[in-house]
Amino acid sequence: MFRFLTGGESHGPALTAIIEGLPAGMPLLAEPVNDQLRRRQGGYGRGARQKIETDTVEILNGVRFGRTLGSPVTMLVRNRDWENWQGRMRIEPAEEGMEEPAAITVPRPGHADWVGMIKYGHPDLRNVLERSSARNTATLVAVGAVARLLLVEFGIRIVSHVTRIGSEAAPAVEGMTADELYEKAEASPVRCVDEGVSERIVALIDGAKRRGDTLGGVFEVVTFGLPVGLGSYVHWDKRIDGRLAMALMSINAIKGVEIGMGFGVAEVPGSQVHDAFYVGGDAGVQRLTNRAGGTEGGITNGEPLVIRAAMKPIATLMRQLESVDLSTREAKPAFAERSDVCAVPAAAVIGEAMVGITLAQAFLEKFGGDSLDEVRRNYEGFAATYHNAAEK
């Protein structure tokens, strides 16, 4: 079973992740993980924090000579801003005569501040925001990068692009290979493959920054090369589409997820929704459309997996919203930590990571073994089964 835990606070010493269930013999080095961490920090509209941090991972155990051992893998990402926060985020109790930092008691609308203070009984919302911060998605991207290294061993590629920010939307992308989609998205400062729309989005972000406002949007994650058979219809919590939706909704600020046509299926008759079968292909049948987006009955169907997520505008505004000081019950503007104007391009990278983690878990459930060679034998044996069936 591929599972993981993360730990750490936004301004603490470091972020950590422990992964269990990786097969032995899988190639794993820091640099491919660092590549994904760099992508997460990019994108037009990011804030000052990205100029302070240059995220790199340290692999502490579970790997020897570039290959996994089958034991847990521990990764660490140091917070380079920690040296400026040691007084406010010290682990030890305050020494005698030491003044503790003033509590933050004015919650920001749209954040976990107020609900976190109520749930955990914290008198200082710093205790909430440090863990609820999107800074902690760095560990998710690190874990996702490891998951992708497993999937790529079997020809599975995960690519994302931004389809909308604010009022600007790009036309649908069809017929691109994984390489083409990746290259076009990475060439854009907002990870949008349409150059004209990309330029207009940059202008939108500039305008929002001048107004002290923020912008949300939509990104799409496409997975190429998936086999038939990941997930299951036999239990509600095994359905791959439900698991993917949960994974993406767990990302900070994501408020909606759709697969394939998504909400568009409610607008047209069934003849324009379902993907007909035709003779051909490796399994004896093929599709000429992919309206379902790569899943049927809670199981991957061998077509590209197409999933989109909607991100709300970031809740920390420089033009502060109204709030209440919980210590005095007086009306006050919301507390404002430094923030991005738009983080949709970065959220797309985090989305890739969460899709990768979910698919790696399902892949190992289906084909798992103690070593990469054993996983490969299981995978190839299954592939041969339905290819042979097509030949009979």
Residue 93 lies in a domain: no
Residue 391's pLDDT is: 56
For the chain, how far is it from start to end, CA to CA, in angstroms? 35
Residue 74's pLDDT is: 98
Residue 11 lies in a domain: no
Residue 338's pLDDT is: 65
Residue 26 lies in a domain: no
CB 50 within 8 A of CB 92: no
Residue 13's pLDDT is: 95
- pTM (predicted TM-score): 0.95
Is the per-residue pLDDT at 359 higher than 80? yes
The number of residues in the chain equals 392
Single-letter amino acid code for the residue at 185: A
Residue 51's pLDDT is: 57
Residue 282's pLDDT is: 74
CB 23 within 8 A of CB 47: no
Residue 214 lies in a domain: yes
Is the per-residue pLDDT at 321 higher than 70? yes
Residue 348 lies in a domain: yes
- CA–chain centroid gap for 320, Å, is 28
CB 2 within 8 A of CB 360: yes
Q: Vertex 120, ends 116 and 124: CA angle to 5°? A: 70
Express each pLDDT in 78-123 by its tens digit.
Answer: 999 898 999 899 998 888 888 888 999 999 999 999 999 999 999 9
Q: What is the number of domains present in the chain?
A: 1
Express each pLDDT in 34-83 by its tens digit.
Answer: 999 999 999 998 765 555 568 999 999 999 999 999 999 999 999 998 98
Domain limits for position 283: 102-391
Q: Who's near 387: CB < 8 A, 6+ residues apart?
A: 282, 283
Q: Who's near 150: CB < 8 A, 6+ residues apart?
A: 22, 23, 26, 360, 363, 364
Helices 344-367 & 372-391 angle (0-180, nearest 10): 80
Is the per-residue pLDDT at 336 higher than 80? no
Least confident among 115-119, 124-128, 171-175: 171-175
CB 273 within 8 A of CB 265: yes
* Cα gap 240→262, rounded to integer Å: 15
Residue 4 lies in a domain: no
CB 248 within 8 A of CB 354: yes
What's the CATH code of the domain at 213?
3.60.150.10
For range 219-246, the mean pLDDT: 97
Strands 299-301 and 295-296: antiparallel
CB 276 within 8 A of CB 283: no
Closest CA relative to residue 101, chosen from 89, 91, 113, 93 = 89
Residue 367 lies in a domain: yes
> Which band of pLDDT confidence, cut at 50, 70 and 90, is reported for residue 316?
confident
Residue 387's pLDDT is: 66
> Which band of pLDDT confidence, cut at 50, 70 and 90, is reported for residue 377?
very high
Q: What H or E segment, with its residue span, contains residue 14?
A: strand 14-20
Please state, for a pLDDT cut of 70, what percent of the chain lies above it: 96
Residue 47's pLDDT is: 67
Express each pLDDT in 286-313 by its tens digit.
Answer: 999 999 999 999 999 999 999 999 999 9
Residue 153 lies in a domain: yes
* Cα gap 213→203, rounded to integer Å: 13
Q: Indicate the average pLDDT of the chain.
A: 93
Closest CA relative to residue 106, chosen from 295, 345, 333, 362 = 333
